[in-house]
Amino acid sequence: MITGGNQGIGLQTALLLASRGCYDITIACRNQRRAETALKQLKERAEQSNNFKSKFSWLSLDLSSLRNVEILMERIKKEKIIFDIIILNAGVLLPKEKSTNDGFEPTFQVNFLGHFLLIDGIVKHQCPNHSLRVITLTSVIQRLVGNIFPLEKNVEKWPEMFQNAKRWKAYALSKFATAMLAHHLNNFYGDSVKAFAVHPGAVRTQMSDNVCHKGTRKMLFFLRRLLIEPVSKQK
């Protein structure tokens, strides 16, 4: 399963896997129309690669709604869906919303909290009977946490720290949290779960295209030629 697998790096990763013919692929995202378009592309790529074994499907997932994540988990349990690999790819950068309906800072909830709730439920659902590999997409910007962006030494104050973060600090903290998630999974679930935190590089995706902050949007417009195309980076 690839969260946000309907576009950008997520879609290109799915297309590469479809061409290899090794996996059934599930795209988890909130936009059904884009998901259906992506599924069509996956089927076409698979057929071009003589892959007639893989199956492709879509699961509705809106990480900005914790209730939506819980509903998805209820479906996964009810249908006894098992995953071999999960790629936590979905994310936002400088969203226009100030808060989610759950009361959390949007960057933190979409990039980390929603993913944490999802993966925690899946691990409890299928492990240790079925092993799981988890790939979290982080960013090199998380290295700024503790340097340019202060990090609270008291862990009990972390919820407040994440909640009050804005703009690039919020993004850096969310990517720091995704890296910590991989560390947590490796330490607490034994051999049944293996997790990897990956920095994909500076990639031109819809996430950077949809930045709402005017100044940052102008900066990214001029930097677009320096960004890597997702079709190149997915390999």
- Work out whether the CA dihedral 197, 202, 206, 210 comes out positive or negative: positive
> For residues 134 and 184, what is the distance between their CA atoms, to the nearest angstrom?
11
CA distances, 230 to each of 6, 10, 11, 13, 197 (Å): 12, 9, 9, 9, 18
CA distance 80 to 104: 30
d(CA 108, CA 96): 13
- Distance (Å, whole) CA 39 – CA 30: 14
End-to-end CA distance of the chain: 17
Number of CB atoms found within 10 A of residue 96's CB:
10
β-bridge pairing 85-88 and 132-137: parallel
List the catalytic residue out of 58, 171, 176, 189. Answer: 171
Measured distance CA(112)–CA(90) in Å, rounded:
10
The verdict on whether 23 is a catalytic residue reads no
Residues labelled as active-site residues = 171
